[in-house]
Amino acid sequence: MAYPRSALFAPHGAVSTSHPLAAAAGLAVLRRGGNAVDAALATAITLTVVQPPSNDIGGDLFAIVWDGDRLHGLAAAGRSPAGLTREVVLAATGGMAAEPVAALGGAQASGPAMPARGWLPVTVPGAPAGWRDLHDRFGVLPFADLFADAVGYAEHGHPVSTGTAATWARALAQPVPTGAEFTEFDRVFTVAGRAPRAGGRWRNPAAARTLRLIAATGAEDFYRGAIAAALDGHAARTGGLLTAADLAAHTSTWVDPVSVRYRGHEVWELPPPGQGLAALQALGVLDGLDPVVDPVDRVHRQVEAVKLGFADAHAHVADPERVDVPTAGLLDPGYLAARRALLTDRAGVPVAGTPERGGTVYLCTADADGLMVSLIQSTYLGFGSRVVLPGYGFALQNRGTGFRLDPGHPNLVGPAKRPFHTIIPGFLTRDGAPVGPFGVMGGHMQPQGHVQLVAATVDDGRDPQAALDAPRWYWHAGRTLLVEPALAAEPGLVAGLRARGHEVTVADEPSVFGYGQALWRAPAGGWVVGAEPRVDGAALGY
């Protein structure tokens, strides 16, 4: 059996993320006098080099920052090319249904779906601008200083971690697309056509070049300089829709996080286009029920509440710049009470309500002044679109897979539009005072992981590490429910859930259940930090 880790107690500052080298980069910045935002950026930038199957320079970023007085949200998510329409997608795919939309989970429409690979699902990368915008508002060290570790690992190489090697191998086991847009992928991201082995040295000097350009120009080169011109030219030569004009038009968006009450606490997520509303709705539904001790009742209620949250998220969440998303209505106490009334003692198949209208890495950091950051970035499915820009060493995301093709849906694919996003940073407060940042990466698992982590913290009084160690469940669609072996070992749990109509399977692949990090303020001062035990998670402090 695996022994649980102990929580890290740090008196001054801390970093927690999914790769030890990235955590060390963030800690080094804290020790040099940087603040929590500087540390988060150094960690995030390093993650693009040391964990490329899960995130890259060509991905998106979302963050929540506690500045000492209040929360700020940043949606650094790119928009679709101006030339992307439903008609273009159907013409290019022959109107054939695609598999990847199922990765979003929950109730999905039948019929044609967005493809996962190639140029069609590529949206403008938002991460480089997000790094710059976070730094411009909150950073204290020079922007270029935050790239040092990432550039060094890309230029000179680093040993591939065990968890990253496994993720890399799983990604490359997927069918390999063909076409001119994919030729650079194998050269950059395989070793003799294979994934690198754990401990094997891997380097990406082209990515070092790109990172230097971003560092030197404050990301301007990525959106209006040489990198933008190279992306425009590569797309034009290989059938892509992305243009220099699309890149130049990109902007991040500062937003106000949204919240629900949960047993004396406030849980915060970012508003759409992310799926954080699914987690908030589930917790809001559960908050109106008395806590239960029986594990069957507990898991059943959480699963059914999550189903309701996902049904609404998939029906209503879209780009709020383009459609009226009923965010306030979905979180209204009266609406949550009506959704709560739908819960029974039987496993159900979720249906969306009608409210009143009004592949990923995660990290969290804190510093001695109380600044805290919850940050998540991704290229989505393993290596994103698998389109790699020749000479620059990074893959482009496939976030456009999150669009819908059914006419009339608010998340219908269209030009200059942000798709439904799976990546969501979280934050917990109590009576307005910060508790700390948290997140659980893993596509459709993320809101479910948020619900389980918050419940383990608030209901069970667990520290961040113990909350992350707790066995998890995962719901994908219908009545199918996966549980970890340690959860299945609880006496009567599987039989009790099956008696309620859940189709339970015990799954021993840890990646199914997501990877998380959490960091809480300690009552006596300093920080209590947890790191994911299912992967190479590292919590470091000083």
Residues with catalytic annotation?
Answer: 360
Task: Provide the pairing of β-strand 8-10 with 527-531.
Answer: antiparallel
φ, ψ (nearest 5 deg) of residue 65: -125, 125
Residues in the chain: 542
- Distance between CA atoms of 166 and 188, rounded to whole angstroms? 18
Contact 473, 482 (CB under 8 A): yes
Amino acid identity of 359?
G
DSSP label of 266: E
| Residues contacting 412, CB < 8 A, separation 6+ | 86, 318, 403, 404, 405, 406
Phi/psi region, residue 299 (left: phi>0; alpha: psi -120 to 50; beta: rest), is alpha
Helix axes 127-138, 36-50, angle to 10 degrees: 160
Q: What are the contacts of 492-501 at 24+ separation with CB within 8 A?
A: 492/295, 492/296, 493/295, 493/296, 493/299, 496/295, 496/296, 497/296, 497/299, 497/300, 497/347, 500/296, 500/300, 500/345, 500/346, 500/347, 501/346, 501/347, 501/348
218 burial via Cβ count (<10 Å: 0-12, 13-18, 19+): middle
Q: Which two tokens stand for residue 173?
A: 């086991």
